[in-house]
Amino acid sequence: MNKKTNIVGLLQRSSVPIMFVIICALCIPIAGLSPSYLINEIVTRMGRNSFLILSLLVPIMAGMGLNFGMTLGAMAGEIGLILVSDWQIVGIPGMVLAMIISVPNSVLLGFFCGKILNMAKGREMITSYIISYFMNGVYQLVVLYLMGSIIPIAHTSIKLPRGYGIRNTVSLLSMRQKLDNLIPLTIRGVKIPVMTFIIIALLCLVIIWFRRTKLGQDMRAVGQDLEVARDAGINVERTRILSVIISTVLAGIGMVIYLQNMGNIATYSSHSQIGMFCIAALLVGGASVDKASIGNVFLGVVLFHLMFIVAPRAGAYITGDSMIGEYFRVFVSYAVITVALIMYETNKRRAKSLAGAQLAAEQEAQK
């Protein structure tokens, strides 16, 4: 009985990844892409996205759910990159400088976001989502009006013709894949971004180490029961704010890695969907609102992006319309988030009705 329920439970918990394995398995043959192309793409995207998705883990640990606060970090990363490319600092030094510039901004934004989320306990996900929209407005104000007028921007290549504001696209040609190619390695035609992977591996180690620190333990305690943690003398509010700050700082650095791989910044849209795609990928990897592991991150990156690559092709092949793929991507991202949230609620409800059933069974047993 117990073993059986264990298997059923495991299937229920991993129903989202299983669903995606099936979708991918169906789409791959239809898409007709060569294996080496697929592997190349997956490896590239793992390098591009993993760091960003890993930044989501810390707030989940602290019980703040899937946190769109990372979007704020992404904005800070973009501002760093815009400034650095105006100063014409190229290559790896430019990237490092952009990361350094992003950190204070990320800390500030994370602190602001954490403060607000402390006022909206239990509704962190939707609140952080709305905050990300609000901060997007502030970001646009800075980038569209203040840069070039108050914040000095020298180069016309990134400035709008009217004299202030940043162009829609900022080229990062000078840094393009500099990190990925720092240690060149190609195995059977698959290009491996070795340095990026090393950095990601380092972050994983840091996260594992972090879980074992006092702060990590406090975050887990706060995440599981706020009141108990408070009674034990843990400064709950501070701990929660710290978790958001760590997340935004990591997201800022992750965004620089992401954009160096892309090779250009879509100034007004790069950050806006990154939060949702990262959260969707994490959920596809089998994470839930209150539980996520490093394993979920990598499984999620592979499955979500495999679908990203093959679904448009498969869609185009079946319908003859290439737009269907783009539609499918967005549709699936939202669907995944919705399904994961519904499953979280039903699991809670199921646990509740079990308590009643147990009471009835006890009574029967006594007769």
Partner 1 sequence: MSNDKPRLLEMKNIQKDFFGNQVLTDINLSVDEGEVVGLVGENGAGKSTLMRILFGADMIRETGGYGGDVVLEGKTVRFSSPFDAIAAGIGMVHQEFSLIPGFTTTENILLNREPTKKSVVHDIFGPRMNTLNRSEMDERAANAIEMMGVSVDRKMYINEMPVGHKQFTEIARELSKDQLKLLILDEPTAVLTEKEAEALLASIRGMSERGIAVIFITHRLQEILSVCDKVVVMRDGRVVSEKAAKDTNVAEITRQMVGRSVETSSAAPHDEEAEKERKTILKVDRLWVDMPGEIVRDVSFEVKEGEILGIGGLAGQGKLGIPNGIMGLYQAGGTVTFEGKQIPLNSPRQCLDSSFAFVSEDRRGVGLLLEESLEWNIAFPAMQIQNRFLRNYLGGLIKWRDEKAIKEITDKYIDELAIKCTSSKQKAKELSGGNQQKVCLAKAFALNPRLLFVSEPTRGIDVGAKALVLEALKKFNRESGVTIVVVSSELEELRQSCDRIAIVSGGRIAGILPASASVEDLGTLMLSQVI
Applying CB under 8 A, the residues found at the interface with partner 1 are 209, 212-215, 217-218, 220-221, 224-225, 227-229, 231-234, 352-353, 355-356, 359-360, 362-363, 366
Question: Smaller CB distance to partner 1: residue 6 or 224?
Answer: 224
Minimum CB separation of residue 323 from partner 1 in Å reads 45
Q: How far apart are CA 325 and CA 329, in angstroms?
A: 6
CB of 39 to partner 1, least distance (A): 38
How far, in Å, CA of 69 to CA of 127, rounded? Answer: 9
Contact (CB, 8 A) for 73 and 247 = yes
Report the candidate in 119, 56, 121 with the shortest Cα–Cα distance to residue 291.
56
Q: How far is the CB of 263 from partner 1 (least distance, A)?
A: 34
Task: Give the shortest CB-224-to-partner 1 separation in angstroms.
Answer: 5
CB of 158 to partner 1, least distance (A): 35
| Nearer Cβ to partner 1 (187/355) | 355
Distance CA(310)–CA(315), nearest Å, equals 8
95 vs 219 by CB, closer to partner 1: 219
User: Under DSSP, is residue 232 helix (H, G, I), strand (E, B) or coil?
Assistant: coil
**Closer to partner 1 at the Cβ: 252 or 275?**
252
CB of 225 to partner 1, least distance (A): 5
Q: Interior CA angle at 197 toward 258 and 44, to 5°?
A: 55
Nearer to partner 1, 155 or 238 (CB): 238
Pairing of strands 169-171, 190-191: unpaired
Our CB check for partner 1 shows the closer of 42 and 289 to be 289
Give the side-chain half-sphere CA count within 13 A for 218.
17
* Under 8 Å between Cβ of 80 and 252: yes
Q: CB of residue 233 vs partner 1: minimum separation in angstroms?
A: 5
Alpha carbons 108 and 134: distance in angstroms, whole number: 15
Q: What is the dihedral of CA 204, 209, 214, 216, to 10 degrees?
A: 20
The pair of structure tokens assigned to 199 is 């950095």
Nearer to partner 1, 54 or 234 (CB): 234
Closer of 149 and 224 to partner 1 (Cβ)? 224
The answer for residues whose C-beta is within 8 angstroms of residue 236's C-beta and 6 or more apart is 222, 226, 229, 230
Q: Return d(Cα 121, Cα 124) in angstroms, integer.
A: 6
CB of 247 to partner 1, least distance (A): 16
